[in-house]
Amino acid sequence: MSLDGSVERRRSEPSSMQINGSNGNANENGGSSMMLYSPTSPSPQSQSQSHQRLRLNPNTDHNPENYEDLKLGFNPCIFSSLERYLPPSMLTVTRHLKVQYMNDILARYLPQGERIRVQRHREYRQKIIANYQPLHRELYTMDPATFFVQSFVEAINKNTEESLRSIISEPSPGVYTFEMLHQDFCKMLLSEVDNFEKWVSESKFRIMRPNTMNKYGAVLDDFGLETMLDKLMDDFVRPISKVFFPEVGGPTLDSHHGFVVEYGKDRDVDLGSLMNVGFHVDDSEVTLNVCLGKQFSGGDLFFRGIRCDKHVNTESQPEESFDYSHVAGQAVLHRGRHRHGARATRSGHRINLLLWCRSSAFRELKKYQKDFSAWCGECQREKRERQRKSVAETKQELLRREGDNTVA
Ligand SMILES: O=C(O)CCC(=O)C(=O)O
Ligand SMILES: [Fe+2]
């Protein structure tokens, strides 16, 4: 696989992750008790699925509950809307039971294979969370004052384009960098990841790695950090993406895949040493990549232009080449479709936090679009070429007519 822009492969997560990212999160169904349906021994709820009915017309007098605070397999708004269709006996039960009832109905709309994957992943996460003892509990709840450097918190709190621009640089088009994580937070997260890895090796628990390109690294969402990372996306990444990536769903980011990647001796050396696919696009609309440390040399990120699916393998233009050297605590924010890769970490040990942020609204709209010149470098180049040709043709036509008139 060459790293010069001639060949790229789409970087994807194991299939079980994809559901979790796009269809919501698999480990919550509202409240602390989990609904775990085993395909071989259905739960009472799933056995009764066929009896679950909805009203034909909504009960417009009913005031539905708010489900926004729950992590559900479907958008919370769907639950609020669906509640009006519940049979009268279900309107007075607890919110948790309503969620179970509606979840069962909604799950029927997922293809069977997907349903099983969601369920297995839910069980997988539940097993980890039930057995893994976190080292730093304070990491699991978002605390901006201790997680971030002050300049970052201030800019986000002001929440104006001006305040964001004052802390963010754009060293190359579409690549944004800024000081973000506090050194103490980086250290704490590194030791939490170490602790998790230690537990994995001691307990011999087989974990899923973050994606197809890394043998090392861990999915943070899988061992309890999902709620914190959701907040990170909602309150910090989305406000920035709204300003800098409006055309790729920046304002509507609604799910994430959060993980760490590790490189160095006894680890992967570079991205793709496992599958030889170092140059890639992410399965995200917007990617946040923050270096957590430790001491290392090498490991630069290289960028080669933004591309839509159709143009992902086209050549890059010289002005699209950009190299970035990681600095601990510093964030890089880019479109998932910005082709990139990481060079070998030559010495030491590098660990980065990655948050792949996705927008279901953007993905839905994309299905109906053909022209991505709002963000794809090659679509833009083709459009410019079409415009250039059309201007040249018009000029020729005008000249021809002028010539005709002169003769006459
Ligand atoms: O190693 C890095 O900094 C880049 C990682 C990356 O691109 C990814 O995980 O998607
Ligand atoms: Fe990536």
ipTM of model: 0.99
User: Is residue 41 assigned to a domain?
Assistant: no
271 lines ligand 1 (CB under 6 A): yes
- Provide the residue range defining the domain that includes 262: 143-367
- How would DSSP label each residue in 152-164? HHHHHHHT-HHHH
123 CA distance to ligand 2 centroid (A)? 27
Most confident of 58-67, 70-79, 89-98, 325-334: 325-334
Q: What pLDDT does residue 48 have? A: 38
Asked if residue 214 has pLDDT above 90, the reply is no
User: Is residue 7 assigned to a domain?
Assistant: no
Q: From the alpha carbon of 332, which atom of ligand 1 is closest?
A: 3
| CB-CB contact of 270 with 3 (8 Å) | no
Q: How many residues does the chain have?
A: 408
Q: Give the pLDDT band (50/70/90) at residue 278.
A: confident
What's the CA gap between 243 and 72, in Å, rounded?
Answer: 28
More confident residue, 268 or 33: 268
Token code pair at residue 73: 């397999």
Those residues whose beta carbon sits under 5 angstroms from the ion ligand 2 are 282
| CB-CB contact of 90 with 105 (8 Å) | no
What's the CA gap between 9 and 370, in Å, rounded?
Answer: 21
353 lines ligand 1 (CB under 6 A): no
pLDDT, tens only, 5-54: 222 334 443 332 222 232 233 333 222 222 212 222 233 333 334 467 88
Token code pair at residue 360: 């279901």
Strand bridging mode 9-10 / 280-281: parallel
Q: From the alpha carbon of 301, which atom of ligand 1 is closest?
A: 3
Rounded average pLDDT over 275-292: 85
330 CA distance to ligand 1 centroid (A)? 14
Q: Give the pLDDT band (50/70/90) at residue 267.
A: low
pLDDT, tens only, 289-328: 999 998 999 999 999 999 999 999 999 999 999 999 999 9
CA nearest neighbour of 218 among 232, 208, 205, 230? 208
More confident residue, 266 or 179: 179
More confident residue, 75 or 265: 75
170 CA distance to ligand 2 centroid (A)? 18
> Is the alpha carbon torsion for 312, 213, 289, 298 positive or negative?
negative
Token code pair at residue 387: 């415009």
Q: What pLDDT does residue 406 have? A: 76
Contacts of 53 (CB under 8 A, 6+ apart): 87
List the beta bridge partners of residue 9. Answer: 280
* Neighbour tally for 98: CB within 10 Å: 21
User: Is residue 227 assigned to a domain?
Assistant: yes
Q: What pLDDT does residue 44 have? A: 32
Q: Give the pLDDT band (50/70/90) at residue 56.
A: confident
What's the CA gap between 315 and 326, in Å, rounded?
Answer: 25
Residue % of the chain over a pLDDT of 70: 83
CATH of the domain at 307: 2.60.120.620
Strand bridging mode 175-179 / 330-335: antiparallel
Looking at this protein, which amino acid is placed at residue 332?
A: V
More confident residue, 219 or 76: 219
Ligand in closest contact with the CA of 217: 1
Token code pair at residue 408: 């006459």
Q: How many CA atoms lie within 13 A of 404 on its CB side?
A: 6
214 lines ligand 1 (CB under 6 A): no
130 CA distance to ligand 1 centroid (A)? 29
User: Is residue 72 assigned to a domain?
Assistant: no
Q: What pLDDT does residue 15 have? A: 30
280 CA distance to ligand 1 centroid (A)? 9
Contacts of 370 (CB under 8 A, 6+ apart): none
Q: What is the mean pLDDT of the chain?
A: 84
Structurally, how many domains does the chain consist of?
Answer: 1
Rounded average pLDDT over 62-83: 86
Q: From the alpha carbon of 271, which atom of ligand 1 is closest?
A: 1
289 CA distance to ligand 1 centroid (A)? 7
User: Is residue 89 assigned to a domain?
Assistant: no
| CB-CB contact of 338 with 288 (8 Å) | no
Q: From the alpha carbon of 354, which atom of ligand 1 is closest?
A: 9
User: Is residue 222 assigned to a domain?
Assistant: yes
Asked if residue 273 has pLDDT above 90, the reply is no
List the beta bridge partners of residue 289. Answer: 332, 354
261 lines ligand 1 (CB under 6 A): yes
User: Is residue 43 assigned to a domain?
Assistant: no
Rounded average pLDDT over 210-231: 89
Tokens 């709620």 label which residue? 227
278 CA distance to ligand 1 centroid (A)? 9
User: Which of 214, 215, 216, 271 has most ligand 1 atoms within 8 Å of CB, for mutation?
Assistant: 271
User: Is residue 50 assigned to a domain?
Assistant: no
Q: From the alpha carbon of 289, which atom of ligand 1 is closest?
A: 3
User: Which of 216, 259, 261 has most ligand 1 atoms within 8 Å of CB, for mutation?
Assistant: 261
Token code pair at residue 394: 């018009």
Nearest CA to ligand 1 atom 1: 342
| CB-CB contact of 54 with 86 (8 Å) | yes
* Neighbour tally for 315: CB within 10 Å: 12
What's the CA gap between 172 and 342, in Å, rounded?
Answer: 16
Rounded average pLDDT over 196-211: 92
Looking at this protein, which amino acid is placed at residue 127?
A: K
